[in-house]
Amino acid sequence: MAQHDYVIANASGASVRADINNMALAISSNNSGSSEPSTKYAYLWWLDSSANVLKLRNSANNAWITMPFSIGANNTVDINGGAIDGTNIGASAASTGAFTTLTATGDVTFDTTTFKLDSTNNRVGIGTTSPTSVLNVKTTKTVALSSAADFLTLGLSIDDSTAFDTAGGGGGIAFRSSRNSSGTQTVFAAIDGAKEATSGDSYTGALRFYTNQNSTGVPLERVRITSAGHVTVGSGANIGTSGSISMNVGNTSASGGIQLFAPNNVAHGINFGDAYSTSAVYAGAIEYNHASNYMRFFTASTEKMRIDSSGNLLVGRTSAEGNTTGLALQMNAANKYCSTLHNNGDSTNRYGIQIMAGTYDNSGTNTHVSFGDGNGDGVGTITSSGGTVTYGAFTAHHEVNVPDSDNPSDDSDAYPYGTLVEIVSVYLTDSNKRQSIRYTVQKSQSANSKKVLGAYASNMRPSPMCPTTGTYANNLHNISILGDGHILCNNSGGNIEVGDGICTSAVEGIGMKATTNPSMIVAIAQEAVTFSGSGTKLVAVQFGVQQFTPWS
């Protein structure tokens, strides 16, 4: 290290030579020393060995300019100020600066947790010094998310510079990978946020999801969550137009739908809940049981219908009964029909029920309808054979009104079963329907009455057929007039044999064996009955009003 005043004084040759060598040494060492040179000149170099920095005297020769680097014993250069290729470095403080290109070997850390480049694992951390993935962003989220500013604490904000009055503006994320051996990067899926309206200061936005399935490399929208919270799944022109529907699944250009998977030993389905608690979660539900392969339907949190593994439709029950297949319907509702089939249209070309069963040529006995009581015991059938329809057991009835004095206030019977009644009057229930004949009746009043109609069967209340207003309100009863049945009889005409005609007796509502010719009989006895006194007995008969012809 050497310094010099850069003045060569007159002296002997040896002294001048030594002075010149000292000046050369000072020049070669940049006037290095722990203190500044005693003689200073404008633009003089001084390597300050006490601070390991290089200094330049200013043009006014009144101060030193420290160069933007220092010289260390480890042969490193610390750049503290100045410029590289016109890029300011440390312009105002040691912590600021900018580079056109920066290459670093090893980890890079900015402000402890602001930015961390982990060169060992090739990871980048923002907000963390220990990134756990290729890009790891750590933030402190405002959990409530009750203001717009709170959402900026989520950790990542993607801004879009699209014009404010353009629908569809909004940042997004594209997911790419190589699609071929050349490593060509292709967008296989994407998510973006989209402004819905074009008006200024509009806050409505949607979230859209895309996947790629075509050779153009352009992903198509598959799912959208609108600003109203509606979810649309599918693709096509109507994507996102779900109106008031919370979720819309469809495809305007191909078939689509929803597929649910589950193990083959469990049940799963779709619930329609009133609330997220107890049975209200499945106030309505559709469930498929994989173990037994049946599907059931719930309303009011109770199973109402099931399709079993054989394809039987079961309504109100969980299994088919007896030899039933296809449809089994079971209800328990007072004063209600189990089912109603209505082909509405006010025209004769609106048909009712069609039943197709049996052999193709109607050979043999083909059962079309079977009737059973509430316990399932059979009470009758409708069959066909060779084109002939047969009803059995069969009894036809008339609808009648009884005198008000005889009509009960509830649904109990007006008369004992089998009581004979006779016609009082006839009227039409509908003046536009010629065959809507209805009778007013009373108990038969005399022997051999020509006005006899049939035998009392039952009260029709609370059948919907029974009128609730008008002259005959709550007054409708069944009278057996054709087919099998019974008549209350006494011994006025003697004991009864099979084939005897039954007519009215002198006792009100009671029948007897017909003996008077002529007389009107209401039925033919189907059993022999012997009387032991003046009491009455129910006699099995086959109904049909006709004029009596005595056996010869």
- Residue-wise pLDDT tens digits, 530-546: 999 889 999 999 999 99
Residue 504 has pLDDT above 60, yes or no: yes
Q: Where are the beta strands (DSSP E) in 373-466?
A: 378-385, 388-392, 395-401, 420-428, 437-443, 452-459
Question: For the chain, what percentages of helix, strand and coil (3-state, to nearest 5) are there?
Answer: 5, 35, 60
Q: Which of 27, 57, 88 is the last residue of a domain?
A: 88
Residue 286 sits in the same domain as residue 223: no
Q: What's the one-letter identity of residue 219?
A: P
pLDDT band at residue 83 under the 50/70/90 scheme: low
Q: Which residues face 366 on adjacent strands?
A: 384
Distance CA 239, CA 248 (A): 9
pLDDT band at residue 172 under the 50/70/90 scheme: very high
* pTM, full prediction: 0.57
pLDDT band at residue 96 under the 50/70/90 scheme: low
**Which two three-digit tokens encode residue 123?**
């990871």
Q: Where are the beta strands (DSSP E) in 238-365?
A: 247-251, 267-272, 284-289, 294-299, 302-307, 313-315, 327-329
Identify the weakest region by mean pLDDT among 65-79, 188-202, 264-278, 528-542: 65-79
The Cβ of residue 382 has, within 10 Å, a number of other Cβ atoms equal to: 16
**What is the DSSP track for 261-295?**
---TTSEEEEEE-SSSSGGGGGSEEEEEETTTTEE
Please check whether residue 185 lies inside any domain of the structure.
yes
Residue 462 sits in the same domain as residue 541: yes
Residue 428 sits in the same domain as residue 517: yes
Please check whether residue 339 lies inside any domain of the structure.
no
Averaged pLDDT, 423-436: 85
pLDDT of residue 237: 40
Residue 532 sits in the same domain as residue 459: yes
pLDDT band at residue 238 under the 50/70/90 scheme: very low
Please check whether residue 347 lies inside any domain of the structure.
no
pLDDT band at residue 440 under the 50/70/90 scheme: very high
Q: Which residues face 271 on adjacent strands?
A: 285
Q: What is the CATH number of the domain that holds 492?
A: 2.40.300.10
Residue 510 sits in the same domain as residue 439: yes
pLDDT tens digits, residue range 466-496?
A: 888 999 999 999 999 999 999 999 999 999 9
Identify the weakest region by mean pLDDT among 231-235, 277-281, 332-336, 519-523: 277-281
Identify the weakest region by mean pLDDT among 196-205, 231-240, 273-282: 231-240
| Averaged pLDDT score across all residues of the chain | 86
Residue 238 sits in the same domain as residue 271: no
pLDDT band at residue 92 under the 50/70/90 scheme: very low
Q: Which of 30, 53, 88 is the last residue of a domain?
A: 88
Please check whether residue 299 lies inside any domain of the structure.
yes
Residue 538 sits in the same domain as residue 498: yes
Residue 178 sits in the same domain as residue 290: no
Distance CA 50, CA 478 (A): 129
- Overall number of domains in the chain: 5
Residue 61 sits in the same domain as residue 184: no
pLDDT of residue 88: 53
| Angle at CA of residue 417, ends 415 and 423, nearest 5° | 60
Averaged pLDDT, 170-191: 92
**Which two three-digit tokens encode residue 365?**
């006995």
Please check whether residue 6 lies inside any domain of the structure.
no
Please check whether residue 164 lies inside any domain of the structure.
no
Distance CA 57, CA 20 (A): 22
Query: What torsion, rounded to 10 degrees, do the Cα atoms 424, 429, 435, 437 define?
Result: -10
Q: Where are the beta strands (DSSP E) in 409-476?
A: 420-428, 437-443, 452-459
Rounded alpha-carbon distances, angstroms, from residue 130 to 60, 107, 108: 52, 11, 12
Residue 503 sits in the same domain as residue 436: yes
pLDDT band at residue 550 under the 50/70/90 scheme: confident
Distance CA 429, CA 465 (A): 11
Residue 258 has pLDDT above 60, yes or no: yes
Please check whether residue 375 lies inside any domain of the structure.
no
**Which two three-digit tokens encode residue 292?**
């037994």
Averaged pLDDT, 26-49: 90
Report the SS3 class of residue 516: coil
Residue 385 has pLDDT above 90, yes or no: yes
Domain of residue 121, residue span: 108-137
pLDDT band at residue 260 under the 50/70/90 scheme: confident
- The proportion of the chain whose per-residue pLDDT surpasses 90, expressed as a percent, equals 47
Distance CA 425, CA 122 (A): 105
Residue 423 sits in the same domain as residue 511: yes
Specify the DSSP class assigned to residue 97.
Answer: B
Averaged pLDDT, 372-397: 89
Residue 324 sits in the same domain as residue 246: no
Longest C-alpha distance within the chain, in Å?
A: 191
pLDDT band at residue 324 under the 50/70/90 scheme: confident
Report the SS3 class of residue 536: coil
pLDDT band at residue 97 under the 50/70/90 scheme: low
pLDDT of residue 100: 55
Please check whether residue 356 lies inside any domain of the structure.
no
Contact call for residues 406 and 440 (beta carbons, < 8 A):
no
Q: Which of 284, 301, 329 is the last residue of a domain?
A: 329
Give the torsion sign (CA, 42, 48, 54, 55).
negative
Residue 231 has pLDDT above 90, yes or no: no
pLDDT of residue 94: 47
pLDDT of residue 205: 92
